[in-house]
Structure 1
């Protein structure tokens, strides 16, 4: 891994599996099966991790360095501790994950022609001993399949939680539904950008 330039991975993965895979920073290991293992240089550097599944694209950028001691609770050891001989110190990476409450009905649709509120919460793996705080979140909506994006009015709520109001047109003006692009930044300067080409349909 180059310490002076971001390193990028492109791999279609299941987001649930990604949560278990992308959070590992392992020393002295190699990639095998569905576990991504890599060496980190001792000095701090900026890294990028990219994943795409079912059309949803997520890009993380974060700062990390080689751990000098393990930083995981004994009740939740790193995967590499179980499958790799002498993996070295291990800790989760400070990736921001996003949880959505889109206010959908049972058909995954939302009423057209008006303002609609969604809630987005940033969170980290529980194994991260000192997670940062999500300080900023931006929401953009697309009504034309991602050709153009319009910012939504976004407001901070509880811890790491934000609400956004999206202006919906009439149903026939957005036949392909509503796409969302979310960007979150935390107190450590780590970021995530997640693009959902079709988050829901209008009714």
Structure 2
């Protein structure tokens, strides 16, 4: 999305040429290729963990951090690996988003009209808000010490970055669409019986 916003703001006339179907597929495949080795490493770590007590996972999904809380024995290498993987998986996307927004802001500030600058900032602010919510909650969840916060905090943070933030993404972008707003208004008025059928 940061690349999409960069192209939309900084190279608007070339947007259809740059953000074509092939480029979008390439960005998705690239994300998978980068993420799969990390996931395979986590899976191998999970299967090599020694478990000797409770098998009750106090979490909403099977993730490495709650499993590490259940493991017994020396798990320092696995804990260190989680921090390294979490840091690496966070640093690269955050850096890309930061660089794209520096370029976007410098381009926006060069726009001659105040209304153009305002519209461009509104377009980018929704994406920046969703990205910030996601990375802050995921970073707190994965980079805090495992014994540093409770299972309830882990659950709330994981629900936030896995469910709440992705749910906000289409909602935020849809609410900026005038056709969507009009359709929702008509549907609401129809449901309330204020408009004839």
- Shorter chain as denominator, the TM-score bin is under 0.3
Q: Which has the larger radius of gyration?
A: 2
Name the TM-score, length of structure 2 as normaliser: 0.21
More helix, by proportion: 2
More strand, by proportion: 1
Name the TM-score, length of structure 1 as normaliser: 0.20
